[in-house]
Amino acid sequence: METKETKGSQEKAASRRSFLKKAAAAVTAAAASPLAFPMVSRAQTVTLKMQGAWGAKDIFNDFAVDYVKRVNEMAGGRLKIDYLVEGAVVKAFRVQDAVHKGVLDAAHSVTVYWYGKSKAASLFGTGPVFGQNAHHILAWIAYGGGQKLYEELIASLGLNTVGFFVMPMPTQPLGWFRKEIRSSKDMVGLKYRTVGLAADLFQAMGVKVTQLPGGEIVPALERGVIEAFEFNNPTSDRSFGAQDVSKIYMMGSFHQAAEFFEIIFNKAKYNSLSKEHQAILKYAAEAASSDNYWKGLDRYSADLEWLRDKAGVKILRTPVSVMQDQLAAWDKIMPGLEKDPFFKKVTASQKAFSKRVAYYELFNSADYKLAYEHNFGKLGF
């Protein structure tokens, strides 16, 4: 005999079963709908071995680590870069070869370190100045056709690499000398370290050039292989101990006024990655580019003050006459370099982009020197 109590219990059980069925159906429908729940990545965990072209104490090594940190954190453990310092596997000038061959999966370097394969490589960071700075050339790479030209160069050389560019470097100083450079004549016959097309430039000015990676500069100075050098910035120069062997630091130059880093990956390895992982590698480079620049402004300026105030280095502005002679030297060497059709195609593209972009920025920019001197006094040049 059915009582009110048993009837009520049966109705509650039926209601509970109905609710569970509806809930299960809702979950099934949600799982089938790509809009209902975010897709969770099932990409296989991949570890890449990257080496930098920089010593452990160089700020460039810090910049490389900043990129690696972004990749590793953005990938959430499914993609990881193990980073090694210069010399861990190969020397600085050999990182591209190692990535090409698959000895390394990736590298953090500069194109100028492999310009021996093609002088056009130096155009992606250490080429002639038409009025543009490093920000403008990175804009050219991203929006002016530069990336496609870079990829065309890589393909023409048969290189098994894929690359991104980061960190618009501030103008590189003329460098370190034992005597003040008052005119270009003071550099004639001087044994001087630089790299890339800057070597062609200074040779045209009568300088005796030796090309060396950063870690070999001070030993070469001590052995007398070179008498003067440029590298890149006050922080790196301080870490090399330049202030211990030279006391004259000349600021400003047209030899390398628009450089940036090249981050490369073995192409076969890169193509084997998921689209998600490829995107992380690319967009982490863009993020690191900004952070590297901000950090560089902070560190470079602080170390320039230290060199001046604590290390007794005489900081001087490179004479305008020397920079005018550099521009004339660029004009002198360019016709020979542009006999290479690809080299000429790249410079033509850069010139067209630089003429438009630099015009806008130069015409529009405030006079920052005027504002600085209004607040802090004369700069002295």
Task: List pLDDT tens digits, range 61-76.
Answer: 999 999 999 999 999 9
Structure confidence at residue 18 (pLDDT): 55
pLDDT bracket for residue 173 (50, 70, 90): very high
How far is 43 from 56, CA to CA, in rounded Å?
32
Structure confidence at residue 15 (pLDDT): 54
Q: Is the pLDDT of residue 36 over 60?
A: no
In a domain, 7, yes or no: no
In a domain, 362, yes or no: no
Contact, 105 vs 272, CB < 8 A?
A: no
In a domain, 158, yes or no: yes
In a domain, 70, yes or no: yes
Token digits of residue 8? 């009520």
Structure confidence at residue 44 (pLDDT): 67
In a domain, 226, yes or no: no
Contact, 159 vs 96, CB < 8 A?
A: yes
Q: Is the pLDDT of residue 168 over 60?
A: yes
How far CA 127 is from CA of 144, 174, 192, 260, 331, in Å, comes to 16, 15, 19, 11, 12
Mean pLDDT of 203-222: 91
Percentage, residues of the chain above pLDDT 90? 83
Please report, for the domain that includes residue 157, its CATH number.
3.40.190.170
Residue-wise pLDDT for 294-308, tens only, equals 999 999 999 999 999
Structure confidence at residue 380 (pLDDT): 83
Residue-wise pLDDT for 329-360, tens only, equals 999 999 999 999 999 999 999 999 999 999 99
In a domain, 186, yes or no: no
β-pairing, 314-317 with 248-251?
parallel
Q: How many Å is the Cα radius of gyration of the chain?
A: 28
Residue-wise pLDDT for 122-152, tens only, equals 999 999 999 999 999 999 999 999 999 999 9
Q: Which domain holds residue 125?
A: 46-168+259-297
Q: What is the mean pLDDT of the chain?
A: 91
Q: Is 332 left (phi over 0), alpha (psi -120 to 50) or beta?
A: alpha
Mean pLDDT of 51-60: 96
Q: Is the pLDDT of residue 370 over 80?
A: yes
Structure confidence at residue 45 (pLDDT): 86
Residue-wise pLDDT for 237-250, tens only, equals 999 899 998 999 99
Q: Is the pLDDT of residue 22 over 90?
A: no
Structure confidence at residue 214 (pLDDT): 82
Residue-wise pLDDT for 258-288, tens only, equals 999 999 999 999 999 999 999 999 999 999 9
Structure confidence at residue 222 (pLDDT): 85
- Closest residue by Cα to residue 342 from 166, 151, 132: 151
In a domain, 79, yes or no: yes
Structure confidence at residue 37 (pLDDT): 42
In a domain, 35, yes or no: no
pTM of the model: 0.86
Q: Is the pLDDT of residue 16 over 90?
A: no
Total tally of structural domains belonging to the chain: 1
